Chains A and B, each alone.
Chain A
Amino acid sequence: MPALYADVDRVEQLIRQLAAAYGPSGHEEPVRALLSAHVAPLADEITVDRLGNLIARIRGQGGPQARRVMLAAHMDEIGLIVTHIDDKGFLRFAPVGGLGPATLLGQRVVFADGTVGVIGAEKLEDVKDLKMERLFIDIGAGSRAAAAQRVQVGSMAVFAQEVAGSGSRLTGKALDDRSGCAVLVEVMHHLRAAAPPHEVYCVFSVQEEVGLRGARTAAYAIAPDMALAVDVTPSGDTPQGEKLNVALGGGTAIKVKDRSLISHPKVRQLLVDTAAEAGIPYQMEVLPYGGTDAGAIHLTKSGVPAGALSIPARYLHTPGEMVDLGDVAATVDLLVAVLKGPLPEMPA
């Protein structure tokens, strides 16, 4: 199905570039630098706030229909933080964001300076004994001193896994939520031309994975009339998978509810109606757990009508996350279509 607005090749290239960058929660600088370069020509104003959120503002045409809209996608990815260097140079660590020990065994990780490590485990009697405390990172240093030349307590590592394509699907680390960031950039490409009445803040947020933190302070400063988060969501379409409705290739997922948010009914209806009218493939999403930046945004000050669009994804929080480019394109298309039109009346 051809996309309405999205330049799929351009989005794919950007996803690959962003996903390859290093950016665990609290240390998103390299991702922010890349995004800054991309959005500078597309925005009227760029700022970085106190927590490190990158905020790109596009002035609208104004007028009685104009609203202030905040879009958010998070720059940070999950990772590991070094908590201890032992006398043989092995590194002990804790997770940054939602990571379990099973996904870590034998994985390759990489630090900010490019230092590579592999995750090993103590000898286990039973796989049930597998816990984070039994794992360590081996960077090939022979001693504490040698290790300390490359890393220190507080250094963070992320999965080392390039994005690869397979048909219309991409797989790699950090598609959560670099694919969402790429969606926002692509939307920005079209906003200038579309010249909507609305003032649009595209927020590339920090520290979502550790508690939706960046979005909270960004929303306080922006005080939007309406907000949409763009993130990934788990699909239910793998063998003996979770009983979830969302499937890869089913279009952009319009979120009804997760643990952090019950989407504002008018925002949800706006998304459904716009998608139906424009022939953009979509599916409804109900997630019994999890959260997105919209969860933090909607509770700012005296409340913000908010919703979320999700890119269906498999194998989340592993190095092999997988998304479908058609779903990515549909997400771009729906956002552009929504922003071009009037927004529903919502109580102040």
Chain B
Amino acid sequence: MILRELSELPGVSGDEHRVRARLWEAVRDRVDGGRVDALGNLITWKGADRPGPKVMIAAHMDEIGLMITRIDKDGLLRFRKVGGIDDRVLAAKAVRVGPDGIPGVIGLKPIHLLKDNEAKKAVSHEELYIDIGAASKEEAERVVRPGMYATFATAFGELGDGLVKGKAFDDRAGCALLVELLALDFPFPVYGVFTVQEEIGLRGARVAAYDVAPGLALVLEGTTCADTPGTDPHGQSTLLGHGPAITVMDATHIPARPLVDGLVAAAESAGIPWQWKRTTFGGTDAGSIHLTRAGVPAATVSVPCRYIHSPCAFMSLRDFENTRRLVAAFLEDVPRVAERLAQGSA
């Protein structure tokens, strides 16, 4: 299953090339062509010569992770975060470092040795370090250099009632969806863009959208699903198993109404379960795509992921499949949506 491979590949923002290589392998026979741009985006296309609208579908290849910044004299590795990670999920985790995936651990002081209230305080990432088992700086330097990246060492797996667990579902789930969608045929040009550096500022999408200059864009994401104890219903954002989530607004984007309506209509007529994404924080590649050049109508559809931006997220395979079905159904409707967009501007 490509989702398994994509989840386990390392690809922290700025270091996406392995994910890109695997994705190109998966889509090269489905598209007419592909290119890699100055930032490392993978831009693929099919039907470039067909009549419009030109549709861009984007999913980001990068994941949150760590960068090794220094090797201490005792062989321990200092690091800094890449992308938004809650410091508290870092403590006591297994990681893989560098291109060879050298195993390491982020340790924590043993509880026996803590002072009175220390256990109540969150440990900042600046106090943490990665231990790869080196006894000295020299030993560590043989296999690691500052500038290398580290990812969580989470293995992909199936569990529960049709669920999968793994790292980086945000947004390898979106990438896997895009791979499947590119197997379809469309009467209009479709640009499948696997972007870089979304987690550090929606950056790859910005330059890719400038280059592609689409008439309309759809972003595929993995999103927050906080349907767990301790969260009020209005803070949950999405519910696991309730289908693809459609964004009404986030911090970077107010999606174009005709696209949102088109997504809902496609879901309803095909009988696909769906939900609103019910929080407005965070951003997606649509945030930068919609403001390129003279503007691009855009929307975001997401697969709910519990424990997003942590070492291990949960996703429902039914949600994944329903997201694929919804986007496929929406794409069939694109010419009508494009008409409605054009009318709005008349």
Contact = CB atoms under 8 A, between A and B. Distances in A.
B291 A217 contact: yes
Interface string A4-30: 000000000000000000000111000
A216 B291 contact: yes
A8 to B, nearest CB: 34
A48 B346 contact: yes
Most chain A CB atoms below 10 A, which of B254, B297, B341:
B254
Interface string A207-244: 10011010011101100000000000000000000000
A153 B278 contact: yes
B232 to A, nearest CB: 7
B276 A50 contact: no
A329 to B, nearest CB: 34
Q: Looking at chain B's contact residues, is the secondary structure mostly helix, strand, loop, or mixed?
A: loop
Interface stretch (A79-87, A182-190, A260-268): A79-87
A96 interface: yes
Contacts of B276: 83, 153-154
A45 B259 CA distance: 28
A255 interface: no
Contacts of B294: 49-50, 217-218, 220-221
A65 interface: no
Nearest to A155: B248
Contacts of A213: 290-291
A257 interface: no
Interface residues of B, number: 26
B279 A94 contact: yes
A207 B257 CA distance: 14
A133 B237 CA distance: 13
A67 interface: no
A26 B279 contact: no
B254 A26 contact: yes
A47 interface: yes
B249 A96 contact: yes
B234 interface: yes
Given A47-B345, A133-B235, A154 B248 contact: yes
A346 interface: no
Interface string B161-196: 000000000000000000000000000000000000
A164 interface: no
A52 interface: yes
Contacts of B295: 49-51, 217, 220
B150 interface: no
B99 interface: no
A298 interface: no
Interface in B256-283: 257, 260, 276, 278-281
A92 interface: yes
A217 B234 contact: no
Interface in A240-260: none
A83 B232 contact: no
Given A49-B295, A50-B297, A210 B254 contact: yes
Contacts of B346: 48
B344 A83 contact: no
Interface in A48-75: 48-52
Nearest to B296: A50
Contacts of A218: 294
A88 to B, nearest CB: 11
B293 interface: yes
Nearest to A133: B235
Contacts of B234: 83-84, 86, 92, 133
Contacts of A51: 290, 295
The residue among B248, B276, B341 with the most chain A CB atoms within 10 A of its own CB is B248
A220 B254 contact: no
Contact of B248 (A48, A81, A207, A216): A81
Interface string A35-51: 00000000000011111
Contact of A217 (B232, B257, B293): B293
With most chain B CB atoms within 10 A of its CB, the pick from A25, A81, A84 is A84
A266 B195 CA distance: 41
Contacts of B248: 81, 83, 153-154
A213 B290 CA distance: 9
Contacts of A86: 233-234
A48 B345 contact: yes
Contacts of B257: 26-27
Nearest to A213: B291
A187 to B, nearest CB: 24
A48 B290 CA distance: 16
Interface in A144-171: 153-154
A92 B280 CA distance: 12
A25 B257 CA distance: 12
Nearest to B252: A211
Contacts of B249: 26, 81, 94, 96, 154
Interface centre among A52, A92, A94 (most CB of B within 10 A): A94
Contacts of B293: 217, 220-221
Interface in B239-261: 248-249, 252, 254, 257, 260
Contacts of A217: 291, 293-295
Given A52-B344, A217-B295, A83 B254 contact: no
B53 to A, nearest CB: 11
Interface in B305-346: 341, 344-346
A217 B294 CA distance: 4
Contact of B345 (A49, A83, A153, A216): A49
Interface in A70-112: 81, 83-84, 86, 92, 94, 96
Nearest to B297: A50
11 contacts: A48-B346, A51-B295, A81-B280, A86-B234, A92-B234, A94-B280, A133-B234, A133-B235, A217-B293, A217-B295, A220-B294
Leading 4 A-B pairs by shortest Cβ distance? A154-B248, A26-B254, A217-B295, A92-B234
Given A26-B257, A154-B249, 13 more contacts: A25-B254, A27-B257, A50-B297, A52-B344, A83-B248, A83-B276, A83-B279, A86-B234, A92-B234, A94-B249, A154-B248, A154-B260, A221-B294
